[in-house]
Amino acid sequence: MVLKKIKKALEKTPKFELIELPFIDVTEDPVRPELSLEFRQSHGRKIYGIRDETGDIAAVMCFAFTNDIPKSVEEMDTMSRDAAMQAIHRAGVQGSIAIAYTVWAKKKGGGKHMVNEVYKMIKASSHLNRLITLSPLTDMARKFHLKNGAREVQVNLTTQNFEYDIELSEWEKLKGKVTEKWRNTTWSIK
Ligand SMILES: CC(C)(COP(=O)(O)OP(=O)(O)OC[C@H]1O[C@@H](n2cnc3c(N)ncnc32)[C@H](O)[C@@H]1OP(=O)(O)O)[C@@H](O)C(=O)NCCC(=O)NCCS
What's the whole-model pTM score? 0.84
Predicted confidence (pLDDT) per residue in 106-132, tens digit: 999 999 999 999 999 999 998 899 999
Residues with CB under 6 A from ligand 1: 30-31, 102-105, 108-112, 135-136, 138-141, 143-144, 147
Give the chain's largest Cα–Cα span. 70
Predicted confidence (pLDDT) per residue in 28-44, tens digit: 999 999 999 999 999 99
User: In the chain, what are the helix, strand and coil shares in percent, each to the nearest 5?
Assistant: 40, 25, 35
Question: In the predicted model, what is the mean pLDDT of residues 17-23?
Answer: 97
Ligand 1 geometric centre to CA of 78 (Å): 29
Ligand 1 atom nearest to CA at 147: 29
CA atoms within 13 A on the CB side of 115: 23
Ligand 1 geometric centre to CA of 103 (Å): 10
Ligand 1 geometric centre to CA of 104 (Å): 8
Dist CA 98 CA 112 (whole Å): 17
Residue percentage of the chain with pLDDT more than 90: 74
pLDDT in the model for residue 10 = 62
